[in-house]
Amino acid sequence: MIVEVAYAKPEEQVIFEVQGQAGMTLMEAVRASNITARFPEIDLENAKFGIFGKLSTANAQLHAGDRVEIYRPLIADPKEARKKRAAEGKQMRKGGGKASNPRDEEVSET
């Protein structure tokens, strides 16, 4: 069976094809991809993994065509970043700000 092992950095994304036996585990696929030769910064013992975007364990059994994803650690904790913005008085806006509405503009009568 063939599965994919994916890893992404901000400047580079790669997908390795791995051929293995039925019942292959996620970690077996990652090790067979030899991805740490290209990206030695990956700590396989502490990394988080997923299969098609769903968090999975290293011993999860794979099916033909699965894509294993290796996740990088977050740079900042989202909860802490939100608390910091709130403490600084910054507001988050959906959609990037207030849209202009022509009816809101004052019309001068001459």
The tens digit of pLDDT for each residue in 4-39 reads 999 998 899 999 999 999 999 999 999 999 999 999
Decide if 58 is inside a domain: yes
Decide if 99 is inside a domain: no
Decide if 46 is inside a domain: yes
pTM metric for this prediction: 0.66
Decide if 13 is inside a domain: yes
Report CA-CA distances (Å) from 47 to 8, 24, 61, 94: 13, 19, 17, 32
CATH assignment of the domain containing 52: 3.10.20.30
Decide if 67 is inside a domain: yes
Residue among 20, 14, 16 nearest 33 (CA):
16
The tens digit of pLDDT for each residue in 60-108 reads 999 999 999 999 877 767 787 787 788 887 665 565 555 555 555 555 5
**What is the pLDDT, as a whole number, of residue 17?**
97
Q: 24: domain range? A: 2-71
Decide if 77 is inside a domain: no
Beta partners for residue 70, in sequence order: 7, 49
Decide if 16 is inside a domain: yes
Give the count of domains, the chain: 1
Decide if 25 is inside a domain: yes
